[in-house]
Structures are given as C-alpha cells and as structure tokens.
Amino acid sequence: MRTWLFNDDSLTARLVARCPEKFRVEVLKQRYARVQRNEARLLGIPLHQLALLREVYLYCGNVRVVYARSIIPLKTLTGDQRRLAYLGERPLGGFLFSCPSMQRGQVQLASIQRGDPVYARATQSEEVGTDQLWGRRSVFRLEAKPLIVAEIFLPAVNQVALGQG
C-alpha cells in the first residue's frame, strides 16, 4: 500500500500502465455543492461557497481499485480549467498531470475505518474484506487555482500492484 500512498506521479498513469485497455472511470456523482469545513480551509474559500464535487471509481477491468473525490471551487473553473467541469468518464489525473502549471501540495494520509461515512462512500457498503482502507488527499494548483483530489485505495489495488489486475 505504501507504494500507492507515497507515489508523487500520476495515479491514472500508474493504473493505465498496469491495466492497459482495461482502465476506466465510472462517474458516481458530479454536482455543485457546499464544501466541508476542512475542505474550505484547505482551498482558502468561504464555507458557504459552492464547488464542483466529483466522485468516481477507477477500475482495472471490472474491479474497482480506487474511489476518488475531487472538489473544484468555482474560481478554479475559469480559463482552460473550465474543461474540468466536462471531463465525463475521462480521468482527472490525465488533465492535471498534462498541465505545465500544475503544482501539488503536501499529501495528507488517512486511515479510514469501517463505520466511517467515508468508508461507506468508498465501498458503497459492499463487502471489501477489510475493516480499514487507506487514502490520501492533496491540494493541486493549476495556474495558482486550487482543487482537492482525495483518493481511497480499495483492497483490489494490491492485485494491480502485483501485476494481477
């Protein structure tokens, strides 16, 4: 799991390299919503401000390997970054890592326990065979405009790491 949590390269690129022709994105939700207090603080925006919330699963074949949640403030969705609102089933990571102005902030790690609402969102209450999931989140900046990407690694990601995906 450490190799996934501490890698600074594109998660999308790593998954594509291990699952060529099998990698895909499933959009669970994409809507404008108010951000959580800790997210507003990280983004430097007022708590009441709306942001684009995007939740997806990343798959290797038919196996879910990552749940990702992105928060993109309205002030970020300007200029070239307007395209972020129209990604559909294309991976956000592909867009981020192709931008020359992209900067990634410090990675925050989290252990998510069964019973936590984040655990339930990441697994959609399906049995995943573990009481603990690992995740990370970072603030990215594109032309100095912030967005948050949080990634929760599902147990099947270890099969991908071993080349079994």
The DSSP result for 107-138, as a single string, is -EEEEEETTSHHHHHHHTT---S-SEEEEEEE
pLDDT of residue 165: 45
Residue 6 is predicted with a pLDDT of 77
- The pTM of this model reads 0.90
For residue 86, the model assigns a pLDDT of 96
Q: What CATH number was assigned to the domain covering residues 2-161?
A: 3.40.1410.10
Mean pLDDT by 10 residues, the chain (165 residues): 79 86 92 94 92 96 93 95 95 92 94 93 85 94 96 86 50
Half-sphere exposure of 103 (CA within 13 A, CB side): 8
